[in-house]
Amino acid sequence: MDGSQSSTESPMAPKKISLLSSPMRAVIRLRRKVQFLKKNRLHLNLPREHSPELVQTRLLQRQISLSQTNLYNPSMSLFNQATFANSQYFTFDTSVDQSALNKYKRKKSRRKSRVVLYPESSKKYLPAEQKSKAKRCLLLLIGIICFQILNAIENLDDNLQKYDLDGLEKTMHREVFGQKVAVDRIMELLNEYLATHIHNKPLVISFNGPPGVGKSHVGWLLAKHFRSVMDNDFVLQYFVMHHCPNKEATPACQLDLSEKISEMVTRAEIEEKIPLFILDEVELMSPVLLDTLSRFFQPNQTNEFLNAIYILISNIGGSEITTFVLQNVSTDLLHQQRKREELLYIIQPILIHLHPLWKSADIIPFGLLEKSHVINCFLEEMMREGLYPDQSHIENLASQLSYYTTGGREYAITGCKQVGAKVNVL
């Protein structure tokens, strides 16, 4: 009986040992392998999703689940023990190790390839920088633009030198008395307009003021100067009382003036010059003649009619200027610019009401002349006539004229208009 019992227990003993020891042996073997792999992979950069801790955790979870299965199903223990060590359970781990190792080798070989070895017999030179052709083109373009700018500036200077405006300014400051603000404004407009030959409208300047203050004298100086720097054919002085004395002849005057302007402008455009038209006594022009003149002032014309200078001389607004000057005698010379703006505010509506052509004109008011300015007119006229300029005699002649007296100053009523007649009597 005991023999049978021992015979029945002896085959069961090793089976029980295998059920209890095989999972433990697998866990111990797995743990040793994980520790071995962990030591070998300390220098490798594994991806975050395949870190050693994650791999170890998954393996332990799988082993525990298998051990629990074996406890409930002993018949599968031998099968699991035989097949657990198969490499198919660790294929995912082996591929990650292999890819990381290959990546590490590639990085190492790449670092080694960066080392440049030079022969001992040669010198070490840095690699030559390749020059960009685009940079050369950019420098060439900048040079061309700078050259064009300099050429344009030289052309502006050539135009101003061609008309000798510096000489004109000196002459006007020397021979025109008491009208410094007006002369400066005239020269400013001429310098701006004559600096180039391309314009979008003609230059129209209107001289307005009482008689004898130098308006016609400035027009005469302009005509004289431009005749000297250009041909006489490009300067026209038109006096209404001389060229169109009768109102009945207005249609003929209208046709004559249009033909003269058109012919002169066309000829000047061929020679690249700017003609000058000086129209005096404009206050005597008929409305029909003003209409004819205004058509040449419009901007919507052909190019040749845009390159022209028109000077309109008249006594329109003279009484308003006289009243303004006498009421502002105490105004300092530093406020001359403000006085001119106030005069424009007074005169411009009067001129535009007379005819719309003054909308396109730059109005320059001429103020009253003081007694000292009249004395200078006498001195200049006597020297022109070849007479000895005696100062006491000049002052005696100047005292024979009529003056406005206000604020301790004397303003000539007729300006220098009677100076020529007084000198001729001598």
Least confident of 214-223, 243-252, 329-338, 367-376: 329-338
Of 116-120, 142-146, 399-403, the one with minimum mean pLDDT is 116-120
Provide φ and ψ at 217, rounded to 5°. Answer: -65, -40
| pLDDT confidence of residue 209 | 93
- C-alpha distances (whole Å) from 369 to each of 180, 210, 321, 372, 410 are 11, 10, 12, 8, 8
Percent of the chain with pLDDT over 90: 35
Q: What is the pLDDT of residue 116?
A: 57
Q: Is 219 exposed, middle or buried (0-12, 13-18, 19+ CB in 10 A)?
A: buried
Q: How do the domains of the chain map onto residue ranges?
A: 2-98, 154-368
The reply to whether the predicted model has a pTM over 0.75 is no
**What pLDDT is attached to residue 164?**
87
CATH topology of domain 154-368: Rossmann fold (3.40.50)
**The pLDDT of residue 215:** 94
Residue 370: pLDDT above 80? yes
User: Which of the four pLDDT bands, split at 50, 70 and 90, describes residue 343?
Assistant: confident
Q: Identify whether the C-beta of residue 213 lies closer than 8 Å to the C-beta of residue 415.
A: yes
Q: Is the CB of residue 222 less than 8 Å from the CB of residue 278? A: yes
Residues 6 or more apart whose CB falls under 8 angstroms from that of 142 comprise none
Half-sphere exposure for 401 (CA within 13 Å, toward CB): 31
Please list the residues that pair with 239 across neighbouring strands.
280
Measured distance CA(302)–CA(315) in Å, rounded: 32
CA atoms of 228 and 216, how far apart (whole Å)? 18
Give the angle 170-173-179 at the CA atoms, nearest 5°.
155
Residue 145 has pLDDT above 70, yes or no: yes
Instruction: Give how far Cα 126 sits from Cα of 112, 259, 291, 418, Å.
Output: 19, 79, 81, 91
pLDDT exceeds 50 at position 17 = no
